[in-house]
Amino acid sequence: MNDQPVLGWWLKNGLDPETGAEAVRSATHQVARPLFLLQNDRDLSLARGGAFVAADHLPAGRTPGSDCFPVQAYVPPLHPEQFGSARFKADLNIRYPYVIGAMANGITSVEMVKAAGKAGMIGFFGAAGLVPAQIDDAILHLQRRLDGAPFGFNLIHSPFDPELEKTTVALYLKRGVQVVSASAFMTITPHLVHYRLKGLHRSDAGQIIAPNRVIAKVSREEVAARFLSPPPEKAVAALRGRALITETEARLAASIPMADGLTAEADSGGHTDNRAALTLFPIMTALRDVMTARHGYAQPPCIGLAGGIATPTATAAAFAMGADYVLTGSINQSCLEAGTSEAVRRMLASAGQADVTMAPAADMFEMGVKVQVLKRGTMFALRAAKLYELYDRHPRYEDIPPQDRSFIEKTLFRRSFEEEWESTRAYFAGRDPAQIEKAVNDPRHRMALVFRSYLGQSSHWANAGDPARRMDYQIWCGPAMGAFNRWTSGTFLEGPEKRRTVTVALNLLWGAAVLERLRLMRHQGVVLPPGFDAVRPQPLNVLNAHLGGCPAAC
C-alpha cells in the first residue's frame, strides 16, 4: 500500500487506528459516519475521529506510525437520504428517493402505502382493475390515516374503457389526490390532461404552480416524448371549450410538461417492453434534456428507474447512472402488506430469475398487448396464450374447433360459453353497457369480452388464494423477484413471513450506500478482499444503528 499516493495525514490525538478487514467492513456499514483508510503494509487499517491534515509532507513535530499516519483514502458519510434528486424528494415531501410502484387490483394496498408514507417514502395505491367505489374507499382511508404523509394513486390507461378513466380522474380531482402514477399510456388522453391542468396557476412570485403531479411509467422513447412535452394543444382547447378548465389553466398549459417525473421502466412485471435498463435509462435522460431545452421549462422533469430494482447492487447502479429516484414493484408483492394471498407470496418467494414469461393482457387483449407474469406453479400464461391464438384465428367462438371449445369450457370456464357470456354481460351492464350492445352485433367482440373475463378473473383468484384455481393464477412478476430471492437466500428475509415493505426498501437503500462507499475506496487505490461487498439484509434495529438514527420505521 506504500506505493499509493498520500492524501494527507491522520493525527491520532489520543485515538488508535483500527486494524483488520472486519473493522473496515463494520465502519463501511455505518454509512452516516466518515472514515479514513490508512496506509499499512500488513493489513487494512482505518481511523475514525482524530484530525486530518491535507499535506503531502509530514506535519512538523509528528512521528509517522506513532502519533500520525499517512491517509490513502477518505470515505465521506453517505446516508440513503442523500441519493437521488433533492427537488424530487422536496416536491413529494419524502425523505428517501424510493417509490413503491402501483400494482393493480389493490396489490399495492392501503397498508403498503401507509407503511411507505410513514417511513419517508411514497407508495401508489394499485387502483387499476378496481371500481370507483373501491378506489374512493382507499382515498378516504389514506387521507384519514396518513395525517399529511405522502401517498399517490395509480391512473392506468383504459383504451377499451375510456369512461372508467374519465370517472377515475373526476374522483381524484374531487378528493384532492395530488399525485398519480400514469401507467400503460401509449398516448396522452384528454382525461389525463384534465387532471394535469386543473388548478394550474402562478404564485405571487410569478412561478407556475401545478398542484396535480404526474409520475409516468414509460418504456418507449416516443411515449416518453409525449410526457416530456406540454399537454397537446387540441386536448387543451377541447377541455377549455367544455369549460372543464379555466382560461388561465389553458394559457399556462404550454409552459409545463405533462409529467413531473418519468420512470424509465425496464424489464418489469405486468405491462412491460422488456427493455434493458442500461440502454433505456440514458435514452430517457438525454430525451429529457432535449425536451427541457426545446420547451424552456423552468425545471426539468425528474427521471427515475424501475425494472430489476431488487438488490443493493441494482439500486446503487441506478443512482450511479443518475436516477432521481428508484421504483420497485415485483418484490413488494411478496411482502406481508401486499393485497394478495399467502399462496401467492410463497410462490413468489420461491421464484427464480427465469421463472417469468409473457402472457396476453386482460385490459388490452384485442391489441395483442402482453404482460409479464410468473410461470412457475401456474398454467395461466399457456392458457391465456391459447385463448389469444384462437381469438386471432377465428371471427366468432362457434368457429373454434370442437376440441378447443371443449377445453375452454371444461378447463378454463368450467361452464358453457353461454353461461360465461351471461356472467360477462352482467359485469358490463353495471360498468360499461356500450360493450354489451357492441358484442350483440359483433360475435368476435363478444368472444373477446368472454376471453378477457377469464384473464381478469385469474388475477382475482390469485389475490384471493382460491385453491381450486391455483393453476389459473395470474401473478404479475418480473425477473427482479428471482434476483431478490437469490440475495435474501439464507437470511431472515428468505421466507415471506418476515418480508415487510419498509424493511426491504431500507435494506436496498442502505446496501446501495455501503456499495458506493466501497466503490470510492477502490477508486482511491484500496485493495479489498474478495467478497468484501457481499452486503446481506439486516433487521430494522441493526439498520437503525448503521443509519445513525431511527429510519422512521423502527
| pLDDT on residue 380 | 97
* Average confidence score pLDDT of the chain: 93
Cβ atoms of 339 and 107 closer than 8 Å: yes
Q: Tell me: the pLDDT tens digits for 88-140? A: 999 999 999 999 999 999 999 999 999 999 999 999 999 999 999 999 999 99
How many angstroms separate the CA atoms of 24 and 508, rounded? Answer: 21
C-alpha cell at 456: 381478469
433 or 506, greater pLDDT: 506
CA 151 to chain centre: 14
**Mean pLDDT value of segment 236-247:** 97
**Residue of 40, 35, 108 whose CA lies nearest to 76:** 35
Q: Residue 255, SS3?
A: helix
**Residue of 317, 274, 282, 333 whose CA lies nearest to 303:** 282
Give the model's confidence band at 67: pLDDT under 50 very low, under 70 low, under 90 confident, else very high: confident
Run of H or E including 304: strand 302-306
How many angstroms separate the CA atoms of 140 and 144, rounded? Answer: 6
Count of Cβ atoms closer than 10 Å to residue 406 Cβ: 11
Q: Tell me: the pLDDT tens digits for 356-410? A: 999 999 988 999 999 999 999 999 999 999 999 999 999 999 999 999 999 999 9
- Record the pTM: 0.94
Q: Which domains does the chain carry?
A: 8-77+504-529+538-547 (no CATH), 81-328 (3.20.20.70), 351-472 (no CATH)
Q: Tell me: the pLDDT tens digits for 402-427? A: 999 999 999 999 999 999 999 999 98
Cβ atoms of 91 and 213 closer than 8 Å: yes
